[in-house]
């Protein structure tokens, strides 16, 4: 496991995450737990929103150790949902993805070991219910190659904007916007106003949701009343003249 770059850290729910020395950040919040974070901040809110769909196209930004993708499959299996999943996920660090073969994942992923192995060895997995494609390279480049009006769900889970700026700008979210279907839902742990402004200026409506102890951001192309509390970004801007979105430099 990438000792020169990452070190393994046990999180509160018992699942392991990594600390990235390059980004000086944990892949998941150790106080929340890696599986817990994936399920409560991304999988459960988005799948609750799309509870009637039988096939979902998911953009998982970025793959990292794969918790968001693997927790999605775990959640489907646990609940016996009859849903076909197509997951697309960019990741810069190809060595990290290769190393997942030997990563000490929690017992919840025990029966998807064959999927983890396939991704570590071939960057992809496919059966009649699950297709996963991991793109090794820059997410900014990858998203330009994806089909428009295609995704039902976007998990926006890059490192924070101070170290991973390029994945939080208005121009980045412009590219994400065109990939989304009209009823797409995007989930993110990020709740700072500049980030929400980047998302909002790209055309999304912003909602705040508190699944458990921490708030999250949910974003939609259309106003809706299903989940979360609407956040009026125009009002935020009027009240806080200093608040600005992030833009490509």
Residues 16, 198 contacting (CB under 8 angstroms): no
Collapsing DSSP to helix, strand or coil, 142 comes out as helix
Residue 68 makes contact with ligand SAM by CB under 6 A: yes
Instruction: Report how many residues bind ligand SAM under the rule CB under 6 A.
Output: 22
Residue 91 makes contact with ligand SAM by CB under 6 A: yes
CB 157 → ligand SAM: shortest distance, Å?
Answer: 4
Indicate if the alpha-carbon torsion angle 175, 178, 179, 181 is positive or negative: positive
Residues 76, 217 contacting (CB under 8 angstroms): no
Residue 173's closest CA among 61, 91, 92, 45?
A: 61
Beta carbon nearer to ligand SAM, 89 or 200: 89
DSSP string, 118-141: HHHHHSEEE-SSEEEEEEES-HHH
Considering only residues 170 through 189, tell me which ones interact with ligand SAM, judged by CB under 6 A: none
Beta carbon nearer to ligand SAM, 13 or 93: 93
Which helix (DSSP H) or strand (DSSP E) does residue 9 occupy?
Answer: strand 6-10
The binder of ligand SAM chosen from 66, 106, 211, 228 (CB under 6 A): 66
Q: In sequence order, what are the residues at sequence separation of 6 or more whose Cβ sits closer than 8 angstroms to the Cβ of residue 141?
A: none
Residues 59, 151 contacting (CB under 8 angstroms): yes
The binder of ligand SAM chosen from 33, 45, 90, 211 (CB under 6 A): 90
The binder of ligand SAM chosen from 2, 29, 118, 164 (CB under 6 A): 164
The binder of ligand SAM chosen from 85, 119, 132, 158 (CB under 6 A): 158
Beta carbon nearer to ligand SAM, 116 or 139: 139
Name the residue number minimizing CB distance to ligand SAM.
Answer: 64
Collapsing DSSP to helix, strand or coil, 230 comes out as strand
Beta carbon nearer to ligand SAM, 169 or 233: 169
Residue 198 makes contact with ligand SAM by CB under 6 A: no
The binder of ligand SAM chosen from 33, 45, 64, 211 (CB under 6 A): 64
Write out the two tokens for 89.
């996920």
Distance of CA 125 to the CA centre of its chain: 18
CB 39 → ligand SAM: shortest distance, Å?
Answer: 11
Binding site for ligand SAM (CB under 6 A): 27, 38, 62, 64-68, 90-93, 96, 138-140, 157-159, 164, 166-167
């Amino acid at each position: 496991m990438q000792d020169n770059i990452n070190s393994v850290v046990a999180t509160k729910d018992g699942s392991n995450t990594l600390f990235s020395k390059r980004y000086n950040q944990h892949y998941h919040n150790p106080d929340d737990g890696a599986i817990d974070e994936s399920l409560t901040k991304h999988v459960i809110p988005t799948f609750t929103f799309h509870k009637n769909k039988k096939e979902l196209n998911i953009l998982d930004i970025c793959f990292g150790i794969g918790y968001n993708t693997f927790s999605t499959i775990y959640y489907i299996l646990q609940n016996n949902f009859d849903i076909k999943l197509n997951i697309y996920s960019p990741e810069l660090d190809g060595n990290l993805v290769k190393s997942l073969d030997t990563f000490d994942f929690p017992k919840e992923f025990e029966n998807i070991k064959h999927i983890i192995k396939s991704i570590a060895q071939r960057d992809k997995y496919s059966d009649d219910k699950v297709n996963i494609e991991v793109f090794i390279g820059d997410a900014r480049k990858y998203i330009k190659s994806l089909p428009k009006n295609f995704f039902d769900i976007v998990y926006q889970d890059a490192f924070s904007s101070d170290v991973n700026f390029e994945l939080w700008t208005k121009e980045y979210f412009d590219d994400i916007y065109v990939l989304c279907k009209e009823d797409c839902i995007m989930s993110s742990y990020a709740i700072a106003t500049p980030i929400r402004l980047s998302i909002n200026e790209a055309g999304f409506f912003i909602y705040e949701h508190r699944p458990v102890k921490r708030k999250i951001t949910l974003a939609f192309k259309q106003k809706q009343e299903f989940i979360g509390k609407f956040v009026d970004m125009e009002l935020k801007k009027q009240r806080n003249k200093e608040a600005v979105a992030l833009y490509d430099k």
